[in-house]
Amino acid sequence: MIKGEVHKNLLASEIEVLKSLKNCDNIIEVYDIYNTKNNTYIITELCDGGDLAKMISSRRSFSEAEAIPLMNQVIHGYNQIQNKGIIHRDLKPANIFLRTGEIKIADFGFAMKQSDCRRYSSYNVGSPVYMPPEALNENKYSFKSDIWALGVIYYEMLTGKTPWRAKT
């Protein structure tokens, strides 16, 4: 259920972003979007390999030789997002899924087009551990925000923990 104007804008932005990322490698495929009176359903491909967060948790850490091919896929997917002028704003292992060994970036609920940055500058979104200082302090998001998150993800893959802890 949509609770307020902020959630309505975020859902509309997510749907617009997902439609623009159709048929991109390493991005979750959206098959259809259904709207009913009270709900919106986003039908995506099944990624039954779990997510990267669970994989890190179960393995504790990856060697560089294991992490690099996975990060190459994440970066390939991110490049497609960036080439479409989109900032994800919530890249983290829990939003990176696996499907038969292939990485799929998902959860575009906070994503927006770069051109909308000023319009949504009052919304502070994302997961604090993966957010850069400028997003935490000033609600400023850019492609650099996502690149920061990619660095945190890679660090977490190699060490089994994030560089710092944060709940807020």
Contact 105, 29 (CB under 8 A): no
**Active-site pick, 32, 51, 90, 146:** 90
Q: Name 12's Cβ contacts closer than 8 Å, sequence gap at least 6.
A: none
Helix 64-83 vs helix 143-159: crossing angle, to nearest 10: 160
Strands 30-35 and 102-105: unpaired
Q: Is 90 among the residues known to form the active site?
A: yes
Catalytic residues: 90
